[in-house]
Structure 1
Amino acid sequence: MVFKEILPQVKLRPYIKTLYFYESDSAADYDDIVFPSGTMEVIFNLGQGSWKTKKDGTFYTTPPIELWGQITKPLAIKSVGRNVMLGIRFYPHSAAYFFNESISEFNNEIVGAADVFGVSLKTLHEKLMETGGLDKRIALVEDYLCDRLRISEKRHDKIKFIGEIVNNLKTDYNREIIAVSVRNNISTRYLNMLFSQYTGLPPKLFCKINRFQHSLNLVNANDQKLTDVAYDAGYFDQSHFIREFKLFTGLTPNSFAAQASPINQFLAGN
């Protein structure tokens, strides 16, 4: 398996967390699980294989260009054949810079990104399929994203404001939402509405997912006892940590550590 993360050009760094490239080293099918990450993604499928995601007990093939909404529960996936992907991972709030819809509409959904972004994204996908070399493909994606930013300039101030709140919440998992509201002189109701509109998640759930992601990194490092992981990640106690970890993964921390795979780690959005 090849997996590379690519830092976007300077102009895009406030908006794009990372670009990434994935290529499977085998055509053998396999199953895996993706966990909540607090971020959204657009993924261009460029290989001969396909991906499937499970919904209501049935696996469905994902579109050629996938838009991943906010995932709030474990999501089963299946790789079929040899896959090649080029992905865009946004910050929690920054997908809103690139299209007009309320982000929360896509929660726990993988939809056709071309249906959201329009024919220009389909054209980009066709160019990526025709173009050889990762650097050239990255340049095409970056040019497209810069054009989309220019279209959304009128919304930038409001989205930037939500981004600042996102960063505040990320530095203190137990921060009371009401304190954020008072400090910014807005009602908690309006804050929740804006936050959900531009990130897809209410602030409280965002904090839970962000805390879970931190604990996931610590569990992957495998150099601390569970009690220490719980307190370092901001949980009240070990039982609280285990309960919430199982909510987002379907597994206890010990079970996860025993069977974690590379694909679910990078698709988790770390």
Structure 2
Amino acid sequence: MHYKEIEPGARLKPYVKCYYTYESDAGAAFEDTVFPSGCMEMIFNLGDGLWQTATQGDFVTHPAIELWGQLLRPLPVRSVGKHNMLGVRFFPHAAAFFLNDKADLFNDRVTDYRHICGSSAGQLHNRLLETVSWQQRIALVEDFLWQQLLRAQSRTGKVTIVGHVMQELNQPGFFDNIENVAARYGITSRYLQKLFLQYTGLTPKLYSKIHRFQNSLQLVIRKEDSLTAIAYDCGYFDQSHFIREFKSFTGFTPSGYSPDQSPVTLATVNS
């Protein structure tokens, strides 16, 4: 597997966390689990391989253009065949610019983005298939996203508020309550909760939990600290609280988890 992250161009840096390419040479099928990340993603499948998601016991094949909503729980997936993929990882608040519905409607599922955006998304996919250079492919995607962004400028003010609040929540040692945070922006906490759900698919509390979990996941993978130290460094009440929350997002206890069990996680960690 070959995974590589690419920085977005200047005009899309406030919205796109990164682009990434994912290529696999081996065609052997394997199963994996994807964990909540706090980000929504768009993935263009440009190879012959298939990705599938476990839904009610059956595996459902992903569409040519995948929109990954916010995951609130671990999601089993299966890879079949060789892959050639181009992904867009949005900042948590920014995917709302490229959706016609509330972000929380896409939680815990993979949606065909062509059903959201229409024929222009399908035309982009065809052009990507005809283009060999990754640089040219990313340029095509950037132009497409920029046009979508221009059509959604009426949302800018509200999305900006959500983005600023997320920056506050991400600060080390943040302890303020949501009522005080909302008051700093001249809105009620109830309205802030509504904005979060609409534009990120998450509540502020759940976003903070996922952000904390992702920090702990990186430390668990490094295996440099004890579970007690990781729990303390990531702001958990105690080790049992850390273990319980880690398992809810991965299906594993921290001591029972290894990135070797997850080819997708291992590829991203070693990028």
Indicate the TM-score class for this superposition, using the shorter chain for normalisation: over 0.9
The alpha-carbon deviation at position 240 of structure 1 amounts to 0.4
AA in 1 matched with 2:233: D
Q: 8 Å contact 1:181–1:188 — kept in the other structure?
A: yes
After TM superposition, what 4+ stretches of structure 1 lie above 4 angstroms from structure 2?
Answer: 265-268
Whole-angstrom distance in 1 between the partners of 2:263 and 2:49: 18
Q: 8 Å contact 2:2–2:267 — kept in the other structure?
A: no
AA in 1 matched with 2:163: G
> CA 1:237/1:159 → structure 2, altered by over 3 Å: closer, same or farther?
same
1:38-89 Cα deviation digits (max 9, x unpaired): 0000000011010000111111101111000000000000000101110000
Aligned match of 2:239: 238
163-172 vs 18-27, greater mean Cα deviation: 163-172
Aligned match of 1:203: 204
Q: 8 Å contact 2:193–2:203 — kept in the other structure?
A: yes
Aligned match of 2:46: 46
249-258 vs 197-206, greater mean Cα deviation: 249-258
Q: 8 Å contact 1:173–1:207 — kept in the other structure?
A: no
Q: Are 1:86 and 2:97 counterparts?
A: no
The size of the alignment, in residue pairs, is 269
Whole-angstrom distance in 1 between the partners of 2:160 and 2:182: 16
Aligned match of 1:101: 101
Aligned match of 1:74: 74
Q: 8 Å contact 1:99–1:152 — kept in the other structure?
A: no
Aligned match of 1:183: 184
Aligned match of 1:193: 194
Q: How does 1:1-270 map to 2 (within 5 A)?
A: 1-171=1-171, 172=173, 174-257=175-258, 259-264=260-265
Q: 8 Å contact 2:46–2:85 — kept in the other structure?
A: yes
Whole-angstrom distance in 1 between the partners of 2:224 and 2:263: 18
AA in 1 matched with 2:27: A
The percent identity for this pair of structures is: 48
AA in 1 matched with 2:156: H
RMSD, matched Cα: 1.6
Whole-angstrom distance in 2 between the partners of 1:138 and 1:77: 26
AA in 1 matched with 2:225: Q
The alpha-carbon deviation at position 180 of structure 1 amounts to 1.0
1:185-243 Cα deviation digits (max 9, x unpaired): 32111110011100000111111111101100111121111100001111011110000
AA in 1 matched with 2:180: A
3-state SS of 1:88 partner: strand
Whole-angstrom distance in 2 between the partners of 1:267 and 1:104: 26
Whole-angstrom distance in 2 between the partners of 1:135 and 1:258: 30
Q: 8 Å contact 1:50–1:81 — kept in the other structure?
A: yes
Whole-angstrom distance in 2 between the partners of 1:89 and 1:175: 29
3-state SS of 2:257 partner: helix
Whole-angstrom distance in 1 between the partners of 2:129 and 2:74: 31
Q: 8 Å contact 2:29–2:78 — kept in the other structure?
A: yes
AA in 2 matched with 1:104: D
The alpha-carbon deviation at position 157 of structure 1 amounts to 1.5
Whole-angstrom distance in 2 between the partners of 1:179 and 1:164: 14
**Any stretches of 5+ residues in structure 1 without a counterpart?**
none
Whole-angstrom distance in 2 between the partners of 1:233 and 1:179: 23
AA in 2 matched with 1:4: K
Q: 8 Å contact 1:174–1:234 — kept in the other structure?
A: no
AA in 1 matched with 2:67: L
> CA 1:110/1:211 → structure 2, altered by over 3 Å: closer, same or farther?
same
Whole-angstrom distance in 2 between the partners of 1:175 and 1:224: 28
**Any stretches of 5+ residues in structure 2 without a counterpart?**
none
Q: 8 Å contact 1:128–1:137 — kept in the other structure?
A: yes
Q: TM-score, normalised by structure 2?
A: 0.95
